[in-house]
Amino acid sequence: MNQRGRVIPVLIETEMQNSYLNYSMSVIVSRALPDVRDGLKPVHRRVLYGMSELGLRPGSGYKKSARIVGEVLGKYHPHGDTAVYDSMVRMVQDFSLRYPLVDGQGNFGSVDGDSPAAMRYTEARMTRIAQEILRDLDKDTVDFVPNFDESLTEPTVMPSVLPNLLVNGSSGIAVGMATNIPPHNLGEVIDALVAMIANPDLTVEDLMTHIKGPDFPTAGIIYGDVGIDEAYRTGRGRVVIRARANIEISKNDRENIIVNELPYQVNKARLMEKIAELVREKKIVGINDIRDESDRDGMRIYIELKRDAPSATILNQLFKHTQMQTTFGVNMLALVNGAPKVLTLKEMLGHFIEFRHEVVVRRAQFELDKAGKRAHILEGLKICLDNIDKIVALIKQSKNPEAAKEGLMKQFKLSEIQAQAILDMRLQRLTGLERKKIEDEYLEVIKTMEQLKSLLASKEKRMLLIKEELLEIREKYADERRTEIIRVTEEFSVEDMIAEEDMVITISHAGFIKRIAVTTYRSQLRGGRGMTAASTREEDFVEHLFIASTHQYMLFFTTKGRCHWLKVHEIPQAGRATKGRAIVNLLQLSKEEGIAAFISIKDFDPELFLVMATKYGIVKKTSLAAYSKPRKGGINAIGIREGDDLIEAMLSNGNHDILLGTRKGMSIRFHEKEVRDMGRTASGVRGIKIGKDDYVVGMVVIKREGTVLVVTEKGLGKRT
């Protein structure tokens, strides 16, 4: 309605847009985002102010949380009691805040996700470090505004000496935006602030020599500094956090995984449930038991492994499939002059220094005004003491206090304030000792005023004072970094968590593959009977046996000319008595495909070549580097003509001879330089002319001066 009481038609979409805009701004400014100056959201600020008004300082007794919540709700924060209590609970939790601001007594939740006790059971008061956020609040350092019903006033921001936004971080979801600022180490942040005060032109790179990266209350390990660098330069980045896990050897010589630290905000109980679920679904094989052995001395998750289980592989699988590795998405969004802004590290530190400068100026002006008023009164008291007999006589002759005040003001040229102070003065102050105290106090006040005037006149002195106050905070509250940062130049791969060791790989005629550590076998004398390397089904037998490192690649070439590759550590590790796992379960093969050849390599050396041969005498040479980018379904290694099959693939350095042999005993030898280097999908060239009902059965790549041993199906052999 307008002022005349008439209804004004408004389009519903217009009203919705305007109303939602008002709502979103209210959420952004008044609920979800922290202020860059004190690092607090309105609810946290009101909780601390309410506790301060209740006198809940570190040295005082505790009060029921319900009393605190009621104080905050009734006076400053007209929202739900659950929201206020939940906010206060988080301020207590030492696994949520790097430096808790509320000291709680009772059950305030746990890292297992346990709910806190109801507010009627718990008690709280402020911590010592929270006092630094409210320091000088009574010295006109910040503005106060009316509360929701205008019956009281509350501070718009706290005059925090503590760089709380960086130190404790913040997270919140507003409308169309969110903030997620990680916590940091107090000592490192103050070192950066001190350095920036000394040299405001420092770059982010310079500041990072002081602030190494986030420092989470639950410790953990940050892998890589690329995300940290990006976050500090742009305000946005991704930080990878891993649990701190160690592999321990038990009394029965089994390897077990011990987890002592978890990534930030990971629920321990849910993590253990997830691990158990992965074991039940056989997505992780080799875990025998998992139990929580945490106590008051710290966290300890005990993951018991089966005998001979690959501990490094299992640990890597835990990082991949569970919250033992998480990503913290940094978004340093905060309110600057009431508006949301994404801040770089330097901007965030700069805003805090500017705020501290403003607080110091306002505090100095307040103290100067207060000292000036006190000096004015002391000057009046001095006049009184110099003329004590006359003043006493004047007061005795006066009819009432007002007449005495007027007489003092008129006869001794005193102000109303001075005259009132003289009338309020007790007779004991007329003694000689009290006179000396007044004179000393006056001199001290004058000295203080001179210092304050000097401070207000010099920005250099103000910045020096800010620095001294920060160093005082560092001395009182700084502690050691908890989160370790491992700086790497590239993203961590599986190999970074797996020890390099030699493996015996066996492949059976029926296509079963497995690996087993070389150390499983022992050296025997000439007459030794050996030991079982693999068990096979009837009519199956071990067709290939070779040694390769866990960090090497295995290239598998199919009869249809496709190439698949695995890392050796991805091949299932099994005991000597097991047959292994079918290759078709590891590689995506079609029904008509089989494995024709395989090669183990350390890397894709561009100086090496792959030489391939088909059943009908086609040969091809391709640079090994062409096979360095695999796909899930494999890649084409050679173009196979209809009816033909790939029969062999071997490595060469480009200076060897190639020898082809057929079923009917025919062979040909030629230098591989006669075969030009071709692309990966090419079909190759003719290497040998095949007679009727004949085909190639083998190929070798040999040195020209080498010796060839040929063995037939019936066991006849010939060395040439």
* pLDDT tens, residue by residue, 659-682: 999 998 898 989 988 988 898 888
Give how far Cα 613 sits from Cα of 224, 650, 664, Å: 45, 9, 17
CA atoms within 13 A on the CB side of 166: 32
Element (H, E) at 419: helix 416-424
The two beta strands, 325-331 and 333-336, are unpaired
- Measure the CA–CA gap between 719 and 716, rounded to whole angstroms: 11
Mean pLDDT of 95-121: 96
Q: Are 345 and 193 in contact, with CB atoms under 8 Å apart? A: no
Q: Is the pLDDT of residue 274 over 80?
A: yes
> 585 in a domain, yes or no?
no
Q: Which is it for the CA torsion 526, 527, 530, 536, positive or negative?
A: positive
- DSSP H helical segments within 332-400, as ranges? 345-386, 388-397
pLDDT-derived band at 265 (thresholds 50, 70, 90) equals: very high
* pLDDT tens, residue by residue, 307-333: 878 888 899 889 999 999 999 999 999
pLDDT-derived band at 215 (thresholds 50, 70, 90) equals: very high
- Measure the CA–CA gap between 310 and 203, rounded to whole angstroms: 46
Q: Which of 235, 227, 230 has its CA nearest to residue 165?
A: 235
- DSSP H helical segments within 425-458, as ranges? 432-457
Question: Percentage of residues in the chain with pLDDT exceeding 90?
Answer: 55
Mean pLDDT of 467-472: 98
Mean pLDDT, the chain, whole residue set: 89
> 286 in a domain, yes or no?
yes
Q: Is the pLDDT of residue 476 over 60?
A: yes
pLDDT-derived band at 573 (thresholds 50, 70, 90) equals: confident
> 211 in a domain, yes or no?
no
Q: Which of 307, 323, 339 is the last residue of a domain?
A: 323
- DSSP H helical segments within 260-344, as ranges? 268-280, 311-321
| CATH number, position 661 | 2.120.10.90
pLDDT-derived band at 30 (thresholds 50, 70, 90) equals: confident
Looking at the structure, tell me whether residues 611 and 712 fall in a common domain.
Answer: yes
The more confident residue out of 468 and 589 is 468
The residue from 49, 62, 76, 121 that is catalytic is: 121
| CATH number, position 280 | 3.30.1360.40
Q: Is the pLDDT of residue 21 over 80?
A: no
- Measure the CA–CA gap between 498 and 570, rounded to whole angstroms: 11
Q: Would the pTM count as exceeding 0.75?
A: no
Looking at the structure, tell me whether residues 608 and 718 fall in a common domain.
Answer: yes
Q: Which of 275, 293, 323 is the last residue of a domain?
A: 323
Asked about 264 being catalytic, the answer comes back as no
* 1-15, 234-248, 570-584, 593-607, range with the lowest pLDDT: 1-15
The more confident residue out of 281 and 17 is 281
| CATH number, position 67 | 3.90.199.10
What is the model's pLDDT at position 267?
96
Q: Which domain holds residue 305?
A: 244-323
> 151 in a domain, yes or no?
yes
Q: Is the pLDDT of residue 124 over 80?
A: yes
Q: Which of 104, 90, 27 has its CA nearest to residue 62?
A: 104
What is the model's pLDDT at position 194?
98
* pLDDT tens, residue by residue, 340-379: 999 999 999 999 999 999 999 999 999 999 999 999 999 9
3-state class of 449 per DSSP?
helix
Count the domains in the chain: 3
Residue 208 phi/psi, 5-degree rounding, is: -75, -10
Q: Is the pLDDT of residue 22 over 80?
A: no
What is the model's pLDDT at position 528?
52
* pLDDT tens, residue by residue, 361-372: 999 999 999 999
Task: Dig out the tokens for 394 from the structure.
Answer: 């004047």
Q: What share of the chain is helix, strand, coil (3-state, %, to 5)?
A: 35, 25, 40
> 215 in a domain, yes or no?
no
> 15 in a domain, yes or no?
no
State the DSSP code for 333. Answer: E
Residue 591: is it exposed, middle or buried by C-beta count within 10 angstroms (0-12/13-18/19+)?
Answer: exposed
* 40-49, 242-251, 508-517, range with the lowest pLDDT: 508-517
Phi-psi region of 419 (alpha: psi -120 to 50; beta: other; left: phi over 0): alpha
* pLDDT tens, residue by residue, 683-709: 889 999 988 889 999 899 988 888 888
Cα angle: 584, vertex 589, 592; to 5 degrees: 110
> 77 in a domain, yes or no?
yes
Q: Which of 159, 179, 210 is the last residue of a domain?
A: 159
Q: Which of 257, 319, 254, 317 has its CA nearest to residue 282?
A: 317
Beta carbons within 8 Å of 122's beta carbon, 6+ residues apart:
64, 65, 104, 105, 106, 107, 108, 116
> 448 in a domain, yes or no?
no
Looking at the structure, tell me whether residues 155 and 249 fall in a common domain.
Answer: no
Cα angle: 287, vertex 291, 296; to 5 degrees: 145
